[in-house]
């Protein structure tokens, strides 16, 4: 009886949280999916984007991991020495909840690393990757 109660309230809580506050992260993913004309994203492709080295951007920032670190659950460090909170949502739950902030940094950081902006597909994949981390 107790177990059933816990399970049901768990489910109710889940439904409530995803329905009432259609989370800003989910909204972003929906937008990216619409823009990319796809129905799902791939965490594996997001991880590849995160760890790959690119020669298209600035020489001192070849990869997302240059600043965000190799371990998504550990803090990263900007080139100026400033600590950057972990990108994994499990460790920094406040992440990717302000769409303007997310867009601003995608634009800055993709240009920095790849020498171009990220596509909606890449943004969706990357976001899916760190949400699952």
Least gap, CB of 35 to ligand HEC (angstroms)? 16
Cα–Cα dist 79/100, whole Å? 23
Structure token digits, residue 131? 């949400």
**Rule CB under 6 A: which of 69-108 touch ligand HEC?**
78-80, 84-85, 95-96, 101-102, 105-106, 108
Closest to ligand HEC by CB, 10 or 56? 56
Q: What b-and-e string marks burial along 39-50, b requiring 16 or more CB atoms within 10 Å of the CB?
A: eebebebbbebb
Q: Name which position in 126, 129, 131, 133 contacts ligand HEC (CB under 6 A).
A: 126
Residue 84, beta-bridge partner list: 76
φ, ψ of residue 77 to 5 degrees: the values are -150, 125
x/- letters, 51..80, toward another protein (CB under 8 A): -------x-------------------xxx
- Mapped onto helix, strand or coil, the DSSP state of residue 83 is strand
**Rule CB under 8 A: which of 76-105 touch another protein?**
78-82, 84
What are the angstrom distances between the C-alpha of 90 and each of 34, 59, 61? 26, 31, 26
Q: Write out the residues near ligand HEC by the rule CB under 6 A.
A: 61, 64, 66-68, 78-80, 84-85, 95-96, 101-102, 105-106, 108-110, 112-113, 126
């Amino acid at each position: 009886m107790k177990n059933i109660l816990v399970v049901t309230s768990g489910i109710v809580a889940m439904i409530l949280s995803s329905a009432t506050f259609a989370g800003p992260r989910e909204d972003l993913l929906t937008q990216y999916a619409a823009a990319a004309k796809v129905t799902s994203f791939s965490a594996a492709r997001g991880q590849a984007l995160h760890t790959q080295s690119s020669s298209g951007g600035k020489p001192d920032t070849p990869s997302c991991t240059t600043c965000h670190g190799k371990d998504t659950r550990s803090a990263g460090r900007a080139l100026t020495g400033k600590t950057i909170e972990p990108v994994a949502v499990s460790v920094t739950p406040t992440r990717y909840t302000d769409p303007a902030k997310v867009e601003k940094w995608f634009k800055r950081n993709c240009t920095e690393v790849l020498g171009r902006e990220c596509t909606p597909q890449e943004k969706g994949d990357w976001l899916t990757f760190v949400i699952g981390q």
